[in-house]
C-alpha cells in the first residue's frame, strides 16, 4: 500500500474562493481523520469518520468547512469561502482503530491570500 | 483545560545529550499513550506506543507512563542531529476518545 495519499500538496488561492482537499486512506482502515496544523495552535482534529460515517465534527471551526466520505477509499475537506486565517497544513490520517497507530499523509499546505 | 498539555519548547541540546520530553493529561480513563515524530514538511509518524503504566524501550528511545500522576515522558539517549524534529504525544481510550499534544520542537546541535 502506498500509504495515505493527499492532494494537492500545495494550494494557493485567493480569499473567497472554494478549496477542496482530497484524501485516499490506507485500504482496510476503518477510521479517517482530518487535522489542521499551525505554529500557533499545533495539530487540531477537525473531524473523523468511522466506516465512512462522521463521528465527531466538533473540531470543524465554522460552517465554511465541510467534509465528506462517499466511500471507503476517498474523502474530501472543503472550505467555502476560504479566508486568510485558514492558511495551514491540512493532514489526513487513517487507522484501523481509534487507539492504534494513525498513518498520516504528507499534508496539503494551504495558503489563502 | 485541555485534555493533554505539552510544553511547545523549542528545545535545543548538544549532540549526545539526554533529552526528556513530557506531557500531562487530565482524565485517568486514558489507557493508550503514543509518541509521534514529525520531521519538517512531513506528516507525523508513530515512534512509540504504550498501554497502561510502565516503561517501554526501543533503542535509544524510552517511553514512560505514570498513570498516578497523569504524566508521560519520552527520553532520548545519545541524541543525534537526525533526532531534530517535532515530537507529539497522543492519548486515547477505548471509547473513541483521543487527543494530540501540540508538539515540542527539538533541535540537536552537532
Q: Over the stretch A29-48, which tens digit does the pLDDT of each residue have?
A: 999 999 999 988 888 999 99
pLDDT score at A51 = 95
What is the pLDDT averaged over residues A19-27?
Answer: 97
Chain A CB contacts of B100 under 8 Å are 35, 42-43, 45
Would you place residue B1 in the very low, low, confident or very high pLDDT band (cuts 50, 70, 90)?
A: low
Chain A CB contacts of B101 under 8 Å are 42
Q: Which of A113, A105, A112 is nearest to A8 (CA)?
A: A105
Taking any CB pair shorter than 8 Å as contact, residues of chain A touching chain B are 4, 35, 41-43, 45, 50, 55-56, 91, 93, 98-99, 101-102, 104-107
Distance of alpha carbon A105 from alpha carbon A26, whole angstroms = 10
Distance of alpha carbon A34 from alpha carbon A76, whole angstroms = 9
Distance of alpha carbon A84 from alpha carbon A102, whole angstroms = 29
The phi and psi torsions of B96 (rounded to 5 degrees) equal 65, 20
Cis peptide before B10 (omega within 30 of 0): yes
CA angle, A61 as apex, A59 and A64 as ends, to 5°? 130
* Counts for chain A of helices (H) and strands (E), in that order: 0, 11
Lookup: cell for A13: 488561492
Place of cell 515522558: B73
Evaluate if residue B94 carries a pLDDT over 70: yes
Which helix (H) or strand (E) covers residue A78, if one does?
strand A74-79
Kindly determine whether residue A43 and residue B8, on different chains, have CB atoms separated by under 8 Å. Answer: no
Percent of all residues in chain B with a pLDDT value above 90, rounded to a whole number = 74
What is the pLDDT averaged over residues B14-43?
Answer: 94
**Beta bridge mates, A23:** A6, A75
Amino acid at each position: 500500500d502506498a500509504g495515505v495519499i493527499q492532494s494537492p500538496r500545495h494550494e494557493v488561492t485567493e480569499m473567497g474562493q472554494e478549496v477542496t482537499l482530497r484524501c485516499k486512506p490506507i485500504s482496510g482502515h476503518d477510521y479517517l481523520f482530518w487535522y489542521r496544523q499551525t505554529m500557533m495552535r499545533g495539530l487540531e482534529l477537525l473531524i473523523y469518520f468511522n466506516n465512512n460515517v462522521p463521528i465527531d465534527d466538533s473540531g470543524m471551526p465554522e460552517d465554511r468547512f465541510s467534509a465528506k466520505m462517499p466511500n471507503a477509499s476517498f474523502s474530501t475537506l472543503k472550505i467555502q469561502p476560504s479566508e486568510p486565517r485558514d492558511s495551514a497544513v491540512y493532514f489526513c490520517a487513517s487507522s484501523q482503530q481509534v487507539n492504534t497507530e494513525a498513518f498520516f499523509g504528507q499534508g496539503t499546505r494551504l495558503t489563502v491570500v | 483545560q485541555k485534555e493533554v498539555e505539552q510544553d511547545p519548547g523549542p528545545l535545543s541540546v548538544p549532540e549526545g545529550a539526554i533529552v526528556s520530553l513530557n506531557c500531562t493529561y487530565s482524565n485517568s480513563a486514558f489507557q493508550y499513550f503514543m509518541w509521534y515524530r514529525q520531521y519538517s514538511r512531513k506528516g507525523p509518524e508513530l515512534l512509540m506506543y504504550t498501554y497502561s503504566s510502565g516503561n517501554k524501550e526501543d533503542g535509544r528511545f524510552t517511553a514512560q507512563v505514570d498513570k498516578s500522576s497523569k504524566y508521560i515522558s519520552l527520553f532520548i539517549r545519545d541524541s543525534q542531529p537526525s533526532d531534530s524534529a517535532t515530537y507529539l504525544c497522543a492519548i486515547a481510550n477505548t471509547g473513541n476518545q483521543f487527543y494530540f499534544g501540540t508538539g515540542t520542537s527539538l533541535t540537536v546541535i552537532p
